[in-house]
Amino acid sequence: MRPDADVIPVRRFASSLLSVLLRLAAGTLALLAGARTSGQPAQSKEYELKAAFLYNFTKFVTWPEERFADPHSPIIIGVFGKSPFSPELAAAIAARKTDGRPVLLRNVSTPATAAEVHVLFVPAWEERAAEAVLEPERKAGVLYVGETEAFREHGGTITFDLDRDKLRFVINMNAADRAGLKISAQLLKLAKRVERN
């Protein structure tokens, strides 16, 4: 028998615990406030991974020669609309090269500027706003990468796909052909699925 069971046994403890919690919450808020004022929000790890995929895609795609002014012209990865990539991550990409070409990450907000990039990443929340950039006349020489099946259905070249906790990608070869892009057999082999009509 436990004689104190008629009284909820941890009430007193809970009271003191509440006090501790309030202090912890205050400390947390202070830390968070400090974090917010000290710089940019943390880079999402999911999008860091997607950025690494985007960078890797540039190794497996051949663009039409006219897309580059000279052998040292950069490969430009555009991000349409609100970007999930931090400036630090953009700087990290800029430190890398593909076939001797610098790789740059650039924000894109209009269809006109979208045509200037080599890879255009359209985040899921920007798909509707990005419909104009997927019009056929703007597709030449641009690798369109998105996040949903609907994006691929509307002409996207590659879409990310989450499969059993791992990031995969699906390739729409018709879109690649229409854009005049050559995609290496190695990338096709790694794709979860390659769609052709």
Partner 1 sequence: MNSRHTLTHSRSSPGRTRVLGLLTLAAMAGFTPALPAADAKADPGEFTLFQLNLEDLMGLRIAGATGLTATDGRRLPVALTKFSAPQIEQSGATDLNRLLELHVPNAQFIDHHHLQPHLGFRGIISDREDKYLFQINGRTMNNGTLLGADNERALPLLGDINSVSVVRGPAAATHGAGAIAGVIDVQPFTGLTFQGSDLTLRQGFGQRYTAVEARHGRRLGPGAGVFVYYGAADVKGAESDYYIGRSFAANNGLPANVAGQPLPQGAGAHGGAGFGATWHKLHASFVQGPFEFWARFVQDGGRDRPMREIYSMTRPATVSLEEWTRGRQFQNRQFTVSGRFKQELGSQWSLDLSQSFDRWAFRDQRAGVYQLPTRNGREDEAASRAIAIWQPAEDRSLAFGFEYSHTWYHNPPFSDTLDRAPVVTERKWQANLFSVLTEYQTKIGERWTTFLSVRSDRHRFSDWLTSPRATAVFTPTEADTWKFMIGKSARRSGDEELWSQWARSRTIPKPESLLSYEVSYHRKLNDRWRAGAHAFYQNYDAIGWIPSLYYSSDIGKFDIAGGELTLAYNTRRTQITFSEGYSRLVRASLPAGAPAAGQTVTAEPYGYGNDLAEWAPFITKVALTHELSPAWHLSASAVHYSGFPGAKAYSEYAATFPTPPSAVPVSDRGYDVPYGPNLFVNAGVEFRPSRQWRLRLDAHNLAALADKTLSKRNYYFRLSEFSVQPAALTLTVRRTF
Which residues sit at the interface with partner 1, rule CB under 8 A?
1-3, 5, 8-10, 13-14, 17, 21, 24, 28, 31-32, 35, 39-49, 51-53, 55-56, 59-60, 82, 84, 86, 88-89, 91-96, 123-125, 147-150, 153, 162-168, 187, 190, 192-193, 195
> Shortest Cβ distance from residue 13 to partner 1 (Å)?
7
DSSP per residue, 11-63:
HHHHHHHHHHHHHHHHHHHHHHHHHHHHSSPPPPHHHHHHHHHHHHHTTSEE-
> Shortest Cβ distance from residue 84 to partner 1 (Å)?
4
Taking the least distance from each CB to partner 1, the nearer of 36 and 72 is 36
> Shortest Cβ distance from residue 60 to partner 1 (Å)?
8
d(CA 114, CA 107): 9
Q: Name beta bridge partners: 78.
A: 106, 120
Hey, CA dihedral for 4, 10, 13, 14, is it positive or negative? negative
> Shortest Cβ distance from residue 191 to partner 1 (Å)?
9
- Residue 184 Cα to chain centre, angstroms: 22
Taking the least distance from each CB to partner 1, the nearer of 91 and 112 is 91
